[in-house]
Homo-oligomer: A and B are copies of this chain.
Amino acid sequence: MDTRDYRNKLISTATHLFAERGLHGVSVRELSKAAGVSISMISYYFDGKEGLYSSVLEEQFSCFDYIDVIMGKESEPIEKIEDYIRWSIRRHREKPHLLRFYTSELTNPTRYFARIVQPAIEKVILILIEIIEEGMHRKQLRKGLNPEDTALAMVGMVNYYFLSTLATQKFVNHSPERDEELIKHYMDIFTKGISEHSDVTY
């Protein structure tokens, strides 16, 4: 190693360790030893352990770039949704360890995940609202659901898929060949309306 990029070493090591055992399950001593870097580098490059954790979440889960790509396209709103779902599935297949953060964060009272990923989710919601306002979900609107709630429920459905994948990954082999099936399934849920599949409550 000529390049002394200890920061990257810490990020990549932390990504896998935090994904496996969560924030509290890894100590800075073990982490730095695994990365082959001195302990003090964590506070040097990041704002301590939690800063490193936040950085991992930011770098690994950021979808701003692709959301910008989607928003910039001259495509129909419904195509943007399919685009996003397709991209999400591909990305999670390429980085399967990301899924583990969902479960860690589900029981994390500090909600780093929510704080960091929330802005990205809000962008997705904006796209969804676009479609909803085009009248595709008039039925939900009639039922008293506002667009924000309906859109948030849709984001929830997508995350639900990811978590389901994690839960069954020991038993079920999700092959890329079945992606189209899944995409169709979720697009179906979306276009037919969430309320037909489940009750949205807040």
A interface residue numbers (CB < 8 A to B): 19-22, 24-25, 100, 102-104, 106-109, 152-153, 156-157, 159-160, 163-164, 166-168, 170-173, 175, 198-202
Contact = CB atoms under 8 A, between A and B. Distances in A.
Contacts of A164: 160, 163-164, 167
Nearest to A25: B24
Copies of this protein in the complex: 2
B160 A175 contact: no
A106 B100 CA distance: 8
Given A22-B24, A24-B25, A172 B198 contact: yes
Closest 6 CB pairs of A and B: A24-B24, A156-B171, A163-B167, A172-B198, A173-B201, A103-B103
Nearest to A100: B107
A172 B170 CA distance: 25
A171 B24 contact: no
Contact of A107 (B104, B157, B172): B104
Nearest to A154: B171
A159 B103 CA distance: 14
A168 B163 CA distance: 9
A173 B159 CA distance: 16
17 contacts: A21-B108, A25-B108, A100-B106, A100-B107, A103-B103, A103-B106, A104-B107, A106-B166, A156-B170, A156-B171, A163-B163, A163-B166, A164-B164, A172-B198, A173-B198, A173-B200, A175-B199
A153 B167 CA distance: 12
A171 to B, nearest CB: 4
